[in-house]
Amino acid sequence: MNGCILILVALGLSIVFGLMGIINFAHGVFYMLGAYAGWLTVQLTGNFWLALVTAPAAVGLLGALVERGVLKRIYGTRNANFAGVLVTYGLAIMIPDLVRMTFGRPGKPFAMPAILTGSLFQLGATEVHGYRVFILLVTAALLPLLWLLLNKSNLGLVIRAGTSDNLMVQLLGINVARTWTITYALGAALAGLAGVITAPLVAVAPEMGGLVLIECFIVTVVGGMGSFLGVVAGGLLIGETLALTGMLYDVFADVVIYLAMALVLLVRPRGLFGQEGMSEE
């Protein structure tokens, strides 16, 4: 499960960094908001499946508003990257407090749909449960779609071109501003989707985005900043490393992902699939 969640969250982080050059500290917040939006939908409608649609849509929309309302103001300014870090870090502090003030007590009960509860089959020492398979299937279905979007669509072409040479894309008359908004919203929606599908397994609380953000930074660094394949490989590597360490040598689980990151960076500073120059500066 961990690997799938990390891939979904880290993909958004990586895409935003790749195109916009923003190290988005607010990304974990979108993951948390996805869980809350899902919880709210289930409270109002009792429909988990609807929450799978409304939560990413709502979080994506919010992402677009954040990009248009806040981040837009720092583009082109001196030290824009540094300002981006400060602004998104500020959002990461402010939004959880707003959620706390709005929704009251931390921890919202969020049950998984009855159809997905229970064990499906035994795999070694582990029982494989319906909801875990569901998470796997959602991720597996989304990844090719995202790959197609980023590699075979016009939007993807602009995003990739913008990642490579933003100024040139603007000179060609392409509305890069709109692409940035869409990209940021897409990243937020992916995090929101990860949030809502994780919610039945964890505590839905305002601070739930903090740790996942750290792990996703590790995934993107290991996989290579801005690389789709890198994020998938990094997410699987970090997720499986965590899982295997938990099974085989649990006391080591605290540090293993940091060691994995250090090891990868020692051998390949740009990450497993990172482009030359990116994140090496």
Partner 1 sequence: MTQVTRRTMLKGLAGAGAATAVSGFPFVNRLALGDQPIKLGVVVPMTGPMALEAQEMLAATQIAIDDVNAAGGVMGRKVEPVVRDSEFKPEVAKRKATELIEVEKAPFLVGAIVGFEGIAMAEVGCKNDVIVSFFGQNFLTVKGKMCKYQFGNNLSPYQTAAAAARFVDAQKMGKKWHMLANNYSWPQMFERAYSLVAKQVGAEWTGVTWAPLGTRDFLPFLPKVAAAKADVVFITTWAADQVACAKQVQEFGLARHAQVIHSITELTFAEAAGKGVYENFYSGMPWYWQLKDKFPEAKRYYDRHFALRKRAPGGYTASTYSTVRVLLDTARGEKSLETDKITRALEGRKFQYLKGPEQIRACDHVNIQDVYLCKGKSAAAMKDAWDFFDIVQAVGGDATAESCDGEGFDPKKPLSQQI
Site residues, partner 1 (CB under 8 A): 1-2, 5, 97, 100, 104-112, 117, 119, 124-127, 129, 131-132, 198, 200-208, 211-212, 242-247, 250-251, 253-254
- Within 13 Å and on the Cβ side, how many CA atoms surround 110? 27
The nearest distance, CB 211 to partner 1, in angstroms, is 5
Task: Give bridge partners of residue 123 from the DSSP assignment.
Answer: 126
The nearest distance, CB 242 to partner 1, in angstroms, is 7
- Residue listed under structure tokens 């996989």: 223
The nearest distance, CB 99 to partner 1, in angstroms, is 11
The nearest distance, CB 138 to partner 1, in angstroms, is 16
The nearest distance, CB 5 to partner 1, in angstroms, is 7
The nearest distance, CB 42 to partner 1, in angstroms, is 11
Closer residue to partner 1, CB minimum distance, 20 or 208: 208
Closer residue to partner 1, CB minimum distance, 163 or 245: 245
Closer residue to partner 1, CB minimum distance, 180 or 217: 217
Structure tokens at 213: 């953000």
Residue 178 carries which side chain, given as an amino acid letter?
R
The nearest distance, CB 257 to partner 1, in angstroms, is 9
Closer residue to partner 1, CB minimum distance, 111 or 259: 111
- Dihedral angle over CA of 213, 215, 216, 219, nearest 10: 160
Pairwise CA distance, residues 66 & 69, whole Å? 5
Three state DSSP letters for 149-213: HHHHCHHHHHHHHHHHCHHHHHHCCCCHHHHHHHHHHHHHHHHHHHHHHHHHHCCECHHHHHHHH
Task: Give bridge partners of residue 177 from the DSSP assignment.
Answer: none
